[in-house]
Structure 1
């Protein structure tokens, strides 16, 4: 068995094997698959992997050859090598990637930067363009050497030109910039574009000196040419007029000198009285929302020559609001500040807030707002009645708030529900109100009287002290029937029983009157 390297035209003895002279039929073994795998791991390519290797010795001499060649791998920026690292992952002790195969060896990027300066915070940002040079190499995976190398994709690159941005108030020294050429050895180029302020129109007096405080309009930058300017105008100068021409006439810049100032001569005007119209506007606004809540009061004064003081007005009464001012106005206007605005702030009036004994607002009840005093916009009306709420009694009947803009809580206490009359229970003890009132009974005599007959039901009669609850009973109690025990008492033969009878009748009448009064009171509350 022979493994032959056709690239170097040499045999690889470490992979060969010889049986020597053997009898025909003697067995022969050779692990072709293992040999091929090892060859490939070391960077070889097997050219005849399907070669058949006999398993026995046949007559005569036999030479069986496995041909291999070196694998060549292209190295590009997209598929670079790693210098110093194994080329064949399964052969860590084998050849390493050589220098010149890293990505930055195969790819370099150049730039053209147009740098703008001189226009302050209006200066444009730098304009940067990029270009990348690339090349590739071929590496022998068996030897780890570069066997071939291409040159850079181009020898040089020329960038395009860029129009210089127009910047208001400034002119540039270049209308276009760029066109730089770079190579792989000279990668970066910078071009500077410088801006400078445009010139101004300078109003000057008869002596040629600038007029203090006069407007000095600047020449506008030409929108179609960032290196030039366009004409400006003769400005208006109070108290002066141009020696020639009139305000608004065009003024040409100095040709080729866009940064030069151009003087324009003025002469003083003949003094004439100047008048102006002054105004005082009084606004009425909600201090919470800032919105106007009433039509403003506007006063004007025409043909003024000096300072003017406007009169005052009474502040209006606005429903639902109060203010701290009873009058407003009296503004002073001048020629330089002819329009005065005065703001009168109004505060929304507070409300009466019905609350329970726990201090929490009662739900679904009126919360009336304090009415504004119709004669004084700074006050609300005094002694404002609190709202009536069925089933409740307020702790005060009227409210006079100390602060018109603050709410006033009023405590309402639930009314006590009427307690109805009681009916004797079966054992004689008064029970709760069952709808049938108990007729007041006569007082117990000093000496107990034993009836000759047993009263119907039980013989216990409620004492007069229990009738105090009848003051709040329903009017229907007036028609209540007398308990059976009372009727029995009226029939006793003793003389004292007649007196008890009369007292019982009087108690019944009192009960009826009390019931009628309670009914009428409840109806009024409802």
Structure 2
């Protein structure tokens, strides 16, 4: 039976072989000779066709070396673990042309893996030494970090260490570092003009490997002053002294060049400058002021013949109203010298010439800083000059007046408001809270003092008016007029006039309930001007309280049978009138006839007062309440006075009265209007007086309704009357008894 290597199918027997992979370390000696050290305990044996050869099956780091390995390897050798091993094929020969392959990681182990070797590269470590000093540098700087004093350096003693360098990683394994050293305390130096933030640097202990260090001492610069004086050597005067404040050694950000240039423009000539025009640096002398002097003399120009000097006057500040420049020139024919600082020229036997004064043009609304450019004496050799006239906007005034368009006059309660500004500035007014326009309607604001102006400004109300800009006339104030009209209020008012009639007896006590007329209402309509409080309104026409028939009270007679009608108007007070009732007078009983009786006259039948029922205008008071009875008072030999007064505050039409007789007594009655007077509202205050004789004396009056003395019927009547009188007197006596 022939069994071919690697061909299990060629045999009927299953054979599982073993393959051994060897491990060696290769290195070169000092002469460059190659050496291979076999490490038998690192070799691996695999089952062919089953196991997989992996890198981790072999050495990967120093700790994987066994003590036996370390004995076999030369001292000081280092293995390149990072590169890993290479695989060297064995030189075995196989039958039947079987190719001897090389073992490989992560492959199934084959028979030809047997005898292959992993070769690790080794080399000897390099011995090295290192020497080190620890340095501490002390720096001295100002607050800006700028060095102001030389650095001071402190160094430790030399520290030396030894070790071996890995030939592959070049890492060095150092031996123990010996000892330490001390950097001593350092006293910080004093620097004029500065104050350090620390007075000393403390002692420090250092050892090998400590980094170099730096300690910074910061000095705060002290305050310093530089004074620069500009001196006119020609006049001996100091033109200016400039004081600069700063700190020690700081840049003053100043040199004299600009100021010198400025003085030179004014025709000063530099004599010397102690600063040499250099940028000035503050010193660090706290005790003395740093000072520089700059000396000038006046510049002069020699004059020569046929020279021309020009002066240009320019104007600025008035906007597009600014006048154009004015140029003046003068010509000289003699020599002279001109001091360019003072502008004065000394001519040699030649009269000075002048630039004529130039009046500054007027620009409405602006005031120049000079009213004219003055005449100037010019000497030959003077430089051309330029004079600038600057205009400033004038102060302007504006007034706001308040006009009553309704009354066609200015409003006294709102005095003129003043505002001030400058030409072309915005005009504005602040309305005081005390100005009350609540009774006015705002109309508009017009320009100009004339309230009839139609030049209106925009603005729906007074606070929104745009007044525009101030004008250019500083001699005359701008005037604005705010227009108002009166607010008008509608009127609708009502007033009422009442009428009351009192019914009383002669002693003033109540005779009957009062009469209350239906009130008369008057209405006023129209409008009221809220400013003047003037009303344009009308009242309804006057009205009448109708005449009122006085109520009947048995046994009494009113002084007015009918209270007359009265006409009243809206301004009248309530009407109060009084009707007075008088007790009716009974006729006297006749005396007993004598033997020769005198035939008396037949008494006259008393007549009743006129009844006003026939008058449709008469108003009768309510008679629901019975009249109050009046107790009689004895009237023997007493005159009774009846006083009738119509009491009211308004005017009434007077009524005519009629006189009639009742029981021999005169009685006054009211009737309808007896006359048409021209003044229908004339006040009536009438009083009627009736005198009654209780004894029945007829004062030889002829009674009405009697005949002649010789009338026979009269005799019969007389007898009848006598009997009646006797009978009546008898009845009266009975009553009295």
Q: Give the TM-score band, short-chain normalised.
A: under 0.3
Structure number with higher strand proportion:
2
More contact order relative to length (CA 8 Å, sep ≥ 6) = 1
Bigger Rg, which one: 2
Structure number with higher helix proportion:
1
